[in-house]
Amino acid sequence: MSVYRLGELALWVGLGLALYGAFVGHVGGKRRDPRLIESALRSVFGTAICVAFAYLLLTLGFLNDEFRLAYVADNASRAMPPWYKATAVWGGMEGSMLLWALILAGYSTAAVWIHRRRQPDLAPHAAAVLQTIMAFFLGVMVFSSRPFVMLDFTPPDGLGLNPLLQNRWMAAHPPSLYLGYVGWSVPFAFAMAALVRGRLGADWIVAMRKWALVPFLFLTIGNLMGSHWAYIELGWGGFWGWDPVENSAIMPWFVGAAFVHSIMIQEKRGMLKMWNIGLVTAVFSLTILGTFVTRSGIIESVHAFASTDIGFIFLGFLAVVIGSSIALSWWRSDLLKSENRLESYASRESAFLFNNLLLVGIGFAIWWGTFFPFISEAVTGERISVGPPFFNQVNGPLSIALLLLVGIGPMIAWRKASRRNLQRNFRIPLAVLAVAGVAAVALGLRQWYAVSVVAFGAFVVATVVQELWRGTRARMRSKGVGPGPALLGLIGRNRRRYGGYIVHLGVVLVFAGVAGALFVTERAVRMRPGDQVDVGPFTVLYQGTDVEGGPNYTATVANLTIRDGDGEPRRMRPERRFYPTAQEQVTTEVAIWSRPFEDLYAVLESYQPGSDAVDVTLLVNPMVLWIWIGGGVMVLGMLIALSTPRPGTRRRRATAVPAGRHGSEAIAGGP
């Protein structure tokens, strides 16, 4: 018997344990039976071991060229470098499901381990919900998308991984995105547990703050990586094409951003309880929908690599998720009433409410555009697709309004802002907004979006700088230190708040990069050796082609020399690669000269062997670099916000409470 059959066995055992934990968690939690609860929690660890074993075995199958495994034969070939063999595990449907399960196992184990003492009431029910989700994915792998199916013969070689996926960004993008998708299972599970137990105060939401921030961080990284991959690999010159799969990854980001903000309202003011349950359900559902869209191939897309027939299984699960959440919320509606009311439209609560509406509105608009072919077909019988202009037209005004609120939200007072508060916090930023707007128009900007990004972006930067300056100045006076240590001390003392401000600065930079797309210059030319063309500030000279070999491909490389004024010439080498084993696919490898204010982007479209002529597309993309820098700043801000110590730990250290489970629980505010 092949050792790989143990992989299937591990999935079956894992499924059994998951179903057991799903049942026993609820029963044990309801009866408050410590033995049943402990058993349910241990089932989570047992399932994790089974899934990790199966994943390891499949990875070994890829590394050892075990082509009797149908999945390996479909997604790998001998010539692939080992690194891509290991990443090919998630190149198709079956392996993606296994990666989902592996990440869920990791999150579930960590969440159950950490919260079994801190939230003993909620942990067994949350474990049961997590095990239900796990049972769904293991069920898919056991009955439908089986990763360990053995062929009756051993093929001499495999088909190879889609060459578009043989890119380091694409290798890292799916795990990051899945860490973002799957992580939302934990806040969803604890929300459901809170509904079951009727513990709907700030407790569960405070406990879940970091569990929401972690997947939000990974969704941010995953979307950035995917966007960067599209920019450098797909060869059309853009970073976001409103492709259904891209949309599926960005929808949970927007709704997740709404949740990350609205938890503060429930935490501080006991409001938006029902809204928060709705948001966390929506984010989790969107992650399931995203996996379904990516892997079902229901919508034509460059990303729908794996077309399978499991769409209805996913939709059924989605219906269960949404139905359970609605039913439980209905049952607990009395406990979900707000403890306070909005007192004024000029308040932080109000700003956050509008920020939530805009974020969810953007998510909804993207959902509408993505699924409009289905909506229109269901209503009119005609399948109508909407393209990038639809998304740009809808999201343009919404995102600009959001940018304005990014500046207003953190500055305005809770409950009701006084005239003095408004004047003190907004006088300078509003002046900066006006000056930046006038300067943008005076410098020749005419597009309303670009002018708004400059004006509102400057407003946000001014609010953040003003806050940092005020805090730093106060700290310099009180501590008698210089501006550097004072600033670092300020951020270190309130990482949640200032981490958020840094994220907002990153958002402004991303907006600036996105606005640059309005000013792209493009030239498509046929060039013979010695030809020279101008594009934007650059002069491009073509000097013939080379043919080069890679580990599993052959590349035709165009040699371009670029000059910008009197500066040093620079070489760029766009390629066309031919992969003989991967269904004889041809890919383009673009060449990019990235500079602070513009990228020169060269695509080798085709090559005429007889004359050595090439068809080249040259683009000057302004400000693209700032998208990646802004993304990095956002990630940094999130890491700072995540590094906030658990409430009470600072005090505990300071007052030297004796170490011990009961002491720490009491101070940490455990139930």
Q: How many helices (H) and strands (E) does the chain have?
A: 21, 10
If one asks whether residue 365 binds another protein (CB under 8 A), the answer comes out as yes
Binding status of residue 438 toward another protein by CB under 8 A: no
CB closer to another protein, 375 vs 481? 375
Contact call for residue 386 and another protein (CB under 8 A): yes
By CB under 8 A, is residue 361 in contact with another protein? yes
Nearer CB in complex with another protein: 315/398: 398
Q: Give CB contacts under 8 A, 24+ apart, made by 164-170.
A: 164/233, 164/234, 164/302, 164/587, 165/87, 165/88, 165/91, 165/305, 166/80, 166/84, 166/552, 167/229, 167/232, 167/233, 169/225, 169/226, 169/228, 169/229, 169/232, 169/233, 170/229, 170/233
Q: Is the CB of 354 or the CB of 626 nearer to another protein?
A: 354
Does position 376 bind another protein by CB under 8 A?
A: yes
Q: Is residue 371 a contact residue for another protein (CB under 8 A)? A: no
User: Distance (Å, rounded) from C-alpha 261 to C-alpha 275?
Assistant: 12
Q: Residue from 12, 53, 372, 607 that binds another protein (CB under 8 A)?
A: 372
- Minimum distance of another protein from residue 352's CB (angstroms): 11
Tell me how far CA of residue 561 lies from CA of 84, 169, 568, in angstroms.
32, 27, 10
Instruction: Indicate the residue among 289 and 359 with the shorter CB distance to another protein.
Output: 359
Nearer to another protein, 287 or 395 (CB): 395
Q: Under the criterion CB under 8 A, does residue 350 sit at the interface with another protein? A: yes
Nearer to another protein, 236 or 390 (CB): 390
CB of 337 to another protein, least distance (A): 14
59 belongs to the binding site for another protein (CB under 8 A): no
Contact between 384 and another protein by CB under 8 A: the answer reads yes
Half-sphere exposure of residue 307, counting CA atoms within 13 Å on the CB side?
Answer: 6
Q: Compute CA 95 distance to the chain's CA centroid, rounded to the nearest angstrom.
A: 20
| CB 656 to another protein: min, Å | 46
- Alpha-carbon distance of 256 to 281, in angstroms, equals 10
Phi, psi of 560 (to 5 degrees): -115, 140
Contacts (Cβ under 8 Å, ≥6 apart) of 616? 524, 525, 526, 527, 540, 542, 558, 560, 574, 602, 603, 604, 605
Nearer to another protein, 292 or 354 (CB): 354
Select 345 or 469, whichever has its Cβ closest to another protein: 345
Nearer to another protein, 53 or 371 (CB): 371
Pick the stretch among 84-92, 227-235, 351-359, 557-565 that binds another protein (CB under 8 A): 351-359
Among 154, 307, 333, 393, binds another protein (CB under 8 A): 393
Question: Least Å distance between CB 670 and another protein?
Answer: 34
Asked if 364 touches another protein (CB under 8 A), the answer is yes
Is residue 282 at the binding interface for another protein, with CB under 8 A as the rule? no
Nearer to another protein, 413 or 481 (CB): 413
Please say which residue, 338 or 644, places its beta carbon nearer to another protein: 338
Site for another protein in 460-519 (CB under 8 A): none
Q: In degrees rounded to 5, what are phi and psi of residue 585?
A: -85, 145
* Nearest-angstrom CA–CA distance, 81 and 166: 10
Find all residues with CB under 8 Å of 487, minimum gap 6, and list them: 468, 471, 472, 475
Told to check if 521 binds another protein by CB under 8 A, we report no
The residues, ordered by sequence, that sit 6+ positions from 437 with a Cβ below 8 Å of its Cβ are 451, 454, 455
Output the smallest distance, CB 420 to another protein, in A: 23
Binding-site member from 20, 45, 390, 593 for another protein (CB under 8 A): 390
Please report how the helices 311-331 and 273-296 are oriented relative to each other, as an axis angle in degrees rounded to 10.
180
* CB contact at 8 A, 416 and 401: no
Instruction: By CB under 8 A, tell whether 394 contacts another protein.
Output: yes
Binding flag, residue 250, another protein (CB under 8 A): no
602 counts as binding another protein under rule CB under 8 A: no
Nearest to 188 by CA among 322, 315, 21: 322
In the complex, the smallest distance separating the C-beta of residue 416 from another protein, rounded to whole angstroms, is 13
Using CB under 8 A, pick the residue from 1, 156, 381, 382 that binds another protein: 382
Please say whether the beta carbons of 388 and 369 come within 8 A. Answer: no
Which residue stretch of 75-83, 381-389, 472-480, 564-572 sits at the interface with another protein (rule: CB under 8 A)?
Answer: 381-389
- We find the least distance from the C-beta atom of residue 350 to another protein, in angstroms, to be 7
Determine the Cα–Cα distance for residues 224 and 626; give it in Å rounded to an integer. Answer: 12
- Tell me whether residue 271 or residue 487 sits nearer to another protein (CB atom): 271
From the list 342, 422, 430, 525, which residue makes contact with another protein (rule: CB under 8 A)?
342
Q: Which residues are within 8 A (CB) of 462 and not within 5 positions of it... i.e. 6 or more apart?
A: 407, 428, 429, 432, 433
Quick one: 110 or 346, whose CB is closer to another protein?
A: 346
Residue 386 CB, shortest distance to another protein, in Å, is: 5
86 binds another protein (CB under 8 A): no
Query: In the complex with another protein, which residue's Cβ is closer, 349 or 598?
Result: 349
Size of the site for another protein (CB under 8 A): 23
What are the Cα distances from residue 176, in Å, to 89, 172, 636? 15, 6, 16
The beta strands (E) that lie in 149-195 are given as: none
- Exposed/middle/buried for 296, CB within 10 Å: 0-12, 13-18, 19+? buried
Residue 345 engages another protein in binding (rule: CB under 8 A): yes
- Which region, left, alpha or beta, applies to residue 272 given φ > 0 means left and ψ of -120 to 50 means alpha? left
Residue 342 CB, nearest approach to another protein (Å) = 5
* Spatial contact of 458 and 433, defined as CB atoms under 8 Å apart: yes
Check: CB of residue 72 under 8 Å from CB of residue 66. yes
DSSP assignment, residue 150?
A: B
Q: Is 7 in the site for another protein (CB under 8 A)?
A: no
Query: How far apart are alpha carbons 227 and 233 in whole angstroms?
Result: 10
* Site residues for another protein per CB under 8 A: 341-342, 345, 350, 353-354, 357, 361, 364-365, 368-369, 372, 376, 382, 384-387, 389-390, 393-394
